Structure 1
Amino acid sequence: MSEARAETTIGNSEFDRDTALVPRGPGVHDAELSAGWTIFGAVNGGYLLALAGRALAEALPHPDPFTVTAHYLTASRPGPARIRTDVVRTGRTMSTGQASLVQFAEDGSEVERLRVIAGYGDLGALPGDVRTSAKPPSMPPYEECLGTRDASGASDEVAAMLGTTEIAGRLDVRLDPETSGWALGKPSGRGGMRGWLGLADGRAPDPLALLLAVDALPPTAFDLGLSGWVPTIELTAHIRARPAPGPLRVAITTRNLAGGFLEEDAEVWDSADRLVAQSRQLARAPRG
């Protein structure tokens, strides 16, 4: 790990700066959607989820997201935004809130981009008993996976996904070669995507970063032989534990593309081999 990476900590990274909020009034925050988290001109859905998650953490009495469900109403663009939060219910171990992220049209009117409802608690207070049949994804070591340095000479779209979009510069992604055949024009058709994931500046993962992680890899539609933007319609993330330091392993699968829509089921594992996040999203299939 380089010296620059080692010095970047939670609260002192580009991710934290780009999800910073400015209080405007009770339950209202201003934010600036950074162009650094875009792909094909639209702001990444996981980044938006983390931004709303930060606002809800400030509004609710519990610190950590347990379940977050977001409906993506219109495509977000870099620039000013406003987030409004409401406390729905508070209890001893969990609280529930909702958030709405809006941007502004040329005439000054508000355009709602994202609506979220979430349950929060304290991950550190959960019992340690684990009974699971889930297993970490089988992947080659980090060094043997496909990274941004491999983007040169690839097609425009592959290069965009691997290294030339804005968000690619903020992430350290290394894709499993078994799910990277699409990058060579040979998609498997199985609808899978697996890879190592971290923030490029070395910031350790935390629950907010897990909200980003569930929507950070290239879409499984690429492994189905499709190309183009895959906009998220709805995404539900479950955060199961505070992740250990180190790179995450993310595995995403699609089992059914029908009627122009597909689902993506994601699992996120930490360096201690714990399943720390799960998600399902419904997305619109690309037409390519």
Structure 2
Amino acid sequence: MTQGTVRAAIGDSEFDRDTAVTRRAPGIYDTELSAGWTIINAVNGGYLLAVLGRALADALPHPDPFTVSAHYLTASQPGPAVVRTDVVRTGRTLSTGQASLFQQDEQGREVERIRVLASYGDLDALPDDVRTSAEPPPIPPVEECFGPQDAPGQSPVQGSTAITERLWLKLDPATLGWALGAPSGKGEMRSWFGLADGRDADPLSLLLAVDALPPTAFELGLSGWVPTVELSVHVRCRPAPGPLRVAIATRNLAGGFLEEDAEVWDSADRLVAQSRQLARTALGR
């Protein structure tokens, strides 16, 4: 997102094209999972959530995700996929639906990758009343933070890092010890966040934002893939134009699993999304 470059518009960007779904029949959508959103050895979970979120936005009478809960059953791979949706309930202010994404395995059998239950509404119809004790994360100014392009030498992440080419990340130096071989042990990750083509955030891209930073496990001294088991996202309001700030923290790694709590703040200092996920780690690495 270099100043003076042409910014992509919502609805006409790489993210929109790569999360597009085509309705084949009522409740059935075809899509193509892009290799551009892979990390290490699988398609990113936040990107997948946005794909299913787009299908549900078409299937349900309300436009915006309010709460989305996903269980990741098997690792998704780039290539063709089918999303099947089902309308569970429709009401005046909220509608609820479920969706599953399927791909074929090497034997041609259909395998379910991810299953979602979500409630949708209209963010623009929400009242303006806000009563909160939450505060934006203490991230230094952008010019004092660092992105993947600033890393000296080879990336410490082994495997695909394609997703980083589609994101604009400027990480808080206090959470970058893992990249220098000196993790802090605090289980925190904070960053300025945007899409690399300058597209502003919308409710669907918030589903990506909560799961797009390096995992907090890196700052705990672990490496390798940290696959998501379950991810629940709450979208609180439509984000204002401009960069987002994302803060993620874990307090408890036990038995090879950890939780990650994320907050996403917009340029107007509003808490626009929250999430919690359970992820699996590779202990001893």
Query: What TM-score results when the alignment is normalised by the length of structure 1?
Result: 0.96
Task: Say if 2:183 is the partner of 1:184.
Answer: no
User: Which residue identity does 1:138 align to in structure 2?
Assistant: P
2:76 equivalent in structure 1: 76
- Alpha-carbon offset, residue 3 of structure 1: 4.5
**2:269 maps to what in 1?**
273
The one of 226, 231, 237 equivalent to 2:227 is 231
Identity of aligned residues (%): 73
Q: Distance in 2 between matches of 1:52 and 1:3?
A: 33
Q: What is the one-letter code of the residue matched to 1:217?
A: L
CA shift at 1:220, angstroms? Answer: 0.1
Distance 1:3 1:90 in 2: 44
Counterpart AA for 1:83: V
- Structure 1, unpaired ranges of 5+: none
Determine if contact 1:252/1:266 at 8 Å carries over to the other structure. Answer: yes
* Alignment partners' CA distance in 1, 2:175 and 2:198: 25
Structure 1 residues 87-144: Cα deviation after superposition (integer angstroms, max 9, x where no partner) = 0000000000000000012332210000000000000000000000000001110111
8 Å CA contact retained: 1:5, 1:203? no
Per-residue CA deviations over 1:168-190 (Å, capped at 9, x if unaligned) read 10000010000111111111101
1:149 shift after superposition: 2.2
Residues 153-232 of structure 1 mapped to structure 2, 5 A cutoff: 153-154=153-154, 156-158=155-157, 165-232=161-228
Q: Alpha-carbon deviations, 1:190-245, whole Å to 9, x = none?
A: 10000000000000000000000000000000010110100000000000000001
CA distance in 1, matches of 2:216, 2:6: 29
**Structure 1 vs Structure 2 CA RMSD:** 1.2
- Distance, in Å, in 2 between the alignment partners of 1:26 and 1:229 is 36
Aligned to 2:59: 59
Post-superposition shift, 1:2?
4.0
Q: Is residue 266–residue 280 contact of structure 1 (8 Å, CA) maintained in 2?
A: yes
Question: Residue 41 of structure 1: CA displacement?
Answer: 2.2
The residue correspondences of 1:235-246 to structure 2 (distance < 5 A) are 235-246=231-242
How far residue 286 of structure 1 moved from its aligned partner, in angstroms, is 2.2
Q: What is the CA-CA distance between 1:165 and the residue it aligns to?
A: 1.0
Q: Can you list the C-alpha shifts for 1:52-87, whole angstroms capped at 9, x where unaligned?
A: 000000000000000000000000000000000000
- Superposition deviation, residue 151 in structure 1: 1.9
Q: Which residue of 2 aligns with 1:93?
A: 93
The answer on whether the counterparts of 1:22 and 1:29 sit within 8 Å (CA) in structure 2 is yes
The residue aligned with 1:140 is: 140
Measured in 2, the distance between the counterparts of 1:193 and 1:175 equals 8
1:250 matched to 2:249:
no
TM-score by length of 2: 0.97
